[in-house]
Structure 1
């Protein structure tokens, strides 16, 4: 497996990553907790197994980046919510995800639990854990949740991305329940019973806190950030970090500048005219569009990549690793993980272009004096441990 990874690393990447870092990255188990995979193909066609020249993800580049497992994240955008088409869109995306996985079964395979991940890893393939970003049903219908579980879904967002659903408040919309209502509590209980990952990224502070209290299993924030670095609602405050870690949870760190580089966040907000989570224009939109019309409206935003910011605004891989170190100082090295959000919109650290550049993070960790044990935990060990506990 390690030699296969090494052969797939292009010469340019080898020239920018030391031999020591490359060897460690090849040997480590790399488990990315949040990668946008299927939306590009849904809106524009193509195959995840085909290398493309834009965006941040495809399977050939994932292999080059040394990825062994990932949360294969599908994204139901808020555009489908006003018409209450979120459930139909979820099933449409999962249908395509399963079709693409079957088409690329020589390279990637669906994993339903940690034993599957172990088996798939031994075969030299990438393990794909189906993860839903957005709302599976704004009302939290448990029957729909169970149907999605039967299809292979093993992780779902508690809130409906940056939109308030009818059972859990989001980080970035007007609260309805100051956290969870009775149905939200029922959703958590059912996800525990099924053995599903409760993904609290995009949920409000109150929703996250109550989910941690209620859940019998660890809770995961697949792609999050530190509010102490950038005081925005999408990031997690220190008290919640401690609470999540105390119950065995893990925080995956989103790789974008917008989360942890205030200068870049302000630059983006100034040029976009609003924060990246603002969905008020969707809420105001006329509710008469057909689903096909919504598809055409949404399509241009995929693949989602960051902005072309000036180099002096961007931080580099070592700066990003320094952010993770601040989290480790608070909650320890057993509760942090990689949750990149590739093709989900992050403006990557300076010098990184896509998922094939993941070894640059290992290089940065070594330069900052991380032990091999800590690096292995962050790259995938912690996420695999928690996923094993949740799905057992």
Structure 2
């Protein structure tokens, strides 16, 4: 069968990026993957469900097209890692909540993202639906989908949601980051509304009507179950793990995963050891003296501050980097693929996706520096015996399908 012009152009552009990367990378990363893995990864459509792509630039300046050595993600390195599309996290941290600056901060972050995408137009484009993914692929551009993380700012108001949709937002977490808000309980706070309130159900219905991805990552179990029941379209957990692997509230239990998938949804797997590798998680928790998502001290630190003072307060935390851990407790890429494999055995290969959370704090697998090393995932899956078709589904095919369905 003759290959499409878009696929040929994508392979050419990826091949050029891989060639540049191969001259600079140490043997421990891209040079260590098999020729078959490199070729498959270069040809596949790679769609990452969760990336903190612009946190660093918002707080410290610079452009998404700048290649930097700080953090795990920028556009040049993403292209070297074979990325074709990604959910760009519009992240509103808890520090903005006590002063009720969250809506203003969300708008500032969206404005910043849209200006960055516009200025990078030769390489990057905003995707509003599945057709845009195809168009941008044909043009040889990476596609960015705006996804708000920390939707405390919506406060259950469909009018605010519609305004953000008009600006280009196409995905939203139904819960706040780790706190509850007035319409949906989050994973890591004491239950407040029993999951979704009636206002929360209104938000779900409006997201369906507008054609938006409903993102249940960071939501409480009750919220996730009720969102799935309320939604007429497939639901996505953009960056998650499995609770049967690591028993933490940010991971999804088997019964909820089955429920998500039964309604056509997809789970994106966060690439860090905090979610996927109990041995390293236990070491990290012991050395941090608290859990990764403990935000209980935030109100006292931010109350009474202006939004610009809060900017200065949180700026040093970005980009959010993974911890340094000793080799003897470090997760290997095969350990991470074990988690994906368990999900496939439970719910099938059409329900899994990549949701890296680069620059969002994950401690990456041993030998993985940043987004350039995504081919390590493909290589590990080939070693496990996965078919090329299954790997293509995981790398981007499944998420691309559901994104098209949700935004149709």
TM-score range with shorter-chain normalisation? over 0.9
Partner-residue secondary structure (3-state), 1:137: helix
Query: Taking structure 1 as the reference length, what is the TM-score of the superposition?
Result: 0.99
CA displacement at 1:4 relative to structure 2: 2.1
Question: In structure 1, which of residues 28, 39, 51 is the aligned counterpart of residue 44 of structure 2?
Answer: 28
* 1:358 is aligned to 2:366: no
Q: Indicate the residue corresponding to 1:63 in structure 2.
A: 79
* C-alpha spacing 1:98/1:138, structure 2 compared with 1 (3 Å): closer
Query: Hey, what's the Cα distance between the residues in 2 that align with 1:170 and 1:284?
Result: 21
For residues 281-320 of structure 1, the aligned pairs below 5 Å read 281-285=297-301, 287-320=303-336
* 1:3 is aligned to 2:12: yes
For residues 316-331 of structure 1, the aligned pairs below 5 Å read 316-331=332-347
Partner-residue secondary structure (3-state), 2:73: coil
CA contact (8 A) 1:35 1:341 kept: yes
Q: Indicate the residue corresponding to 2:281 in structure 1.
A: 265
Query: Hey, what's the Cα distance between the residues in 2 that align with 1:244 and 1:284?
Result: 37
Q: Indicate the residue corresponding to 1:44 in structure 2.
A: 60
More divergent stretch after superposition (172-181 vs 8-17): 8-17
* 1:18 is aligned to 2:34: yes
* 1:97 is aligned to 2:113: yes
* 1:369 is aligned to 2:378: no
Query: Hey, what's the Cα distance between the residues in 1 that align with 2:357 and 2:278?
Result: 18
Query: Taking structure 2 as the reference length, what is the TM-score of the superposition?
Result: 0.95
Q: For residues 327-350 of structure 1, what are the alpha-carbon distances to aligned partners after superposition, in whole Å with 9 as ceiling and x for unaligned? A: 011110000000000000000000
Q: For residues 63-87 of structure 1, what are the alpha-carbon distances to aligned partners after superposition, in whole Å with 9 as ceiling and x for unaligned? A: 0000001101121000000111100
Partner-residue secondary structure (3-state), 1:154: strand
CA displacement at 1:140 relative to structure 2: 1.5
For residues 194-273 of structure 1, the aligned pairs below 5 Å read 194-273=210-289
CA displacement at 1:175 relative to structure 2: 1.1
Query: Hey, what's the Cα distance between the residues in 2 that align with 1:159 and 1:179?
Result: 9
Q: Indicate the residue corresponding to 1:278 in structure 2.
A: 294
Partner-residue secondary structure (3-state), 1:32: strand
CA displacement at 1:283 relative to structure 2: 3.2
Question: In structure 1, which of residues 53, 62, 69 is the aligned counterpart of residue 69 of structure 2?
Answer: 53
* 1:114 is aligned to 2:130: yes
Q: Which runs of 5+ in 2 are unaligned?
A: 1-9
CA displacement at 1:291 relative to structure 2: 0.6
Query: Hey, what's the Cα distance between the residues in 1 that align with 2:241 and 2:302?
Result: 34
Query: Hey, what's the Cα distance between the residues in 2 that align with 1:286 and 1:91?
Result: 20
Partner-residue secondary structure (3-state), 1:129: strand
CA displacement at 1:136 relative to structure 2: 5.1
Q: Indicate the residue corresponding to 2:190 in structure 1.
A: 174
CA displacement at 1:7 relative to structure 2: 2.2
How many corresponding residue pairs? Answer: 392
Q: Indicate the residue corresponding to 1:143 in structure 2.
A: 159
CA displacement at 1:284 relative to structure 2: 3.7
Query: Hey, what's the Cα distance between the residues in 1 that align with 2:328 and 2:123?
Result: 39
- Any runs of at least 4 consecutive aligned residues in structure 1 with deviations exceeding 3 A, and if so which? 283-286
Query: Hey, what's the Cα distance between the residues in 2 that align with 1:367 and 1:340?
Result: 20
CA contact (8 A) 1:227 1:237 kept: yes
CA displacement at 1:14 relative to structure 2: 4.4
CA displacement at 1:138 relative to structure 2: 5.1
More divergent stretch after superposition (99-108 vs 284-293): 284-293
Query: Hey, what's the Cα distance between the residues in 2 that align with 1:326 and 1:284?
Result: 41
CA displacement at 1:315 relative to structure 2: 1.3
Query: Hey, what's the Cα distance between the residues in 2 that align with 1:125 and 1:291?
Result: 34
Query: Hey, what's the Cα distance between the residues in 2 that align with 1:14 and 1:260?
Result: 22
Partner-residue secondary structure (3-state), 1:235: coil
CA contact (8 A) 1:138 1:165 kept: no
Query: Hey, what's the Cα distance between the residues in 2 that align with 1:139 and 1:152?
Result: 19
Query: Hey, what's the Cα distance between the residues in 1 that align with 2:290 and 2:176?
Result: 20
Query: Hey, what's the Cα distance between the residues in 2 that align with 1:121 and 1:317?
Result: 28
CA contact (8 A) 1:263 1:313 kept: yes
Q: Indicate the residue corresponding to 1:162 in structure 2.
A: 178
Q: For residues 268-298 of structure 1, what are the alpha-carbon distances to aligned partners after superposition, in whole Å with 9 as ceiling and x for unaligned? A: 1111111011110113435211111111110
Query: Hey, what's the Cα distance between the residues in 2 that align with 1:78 and 1:136?
Result: 9
Partner-residue secondary structure (3-state), 1:69: strand
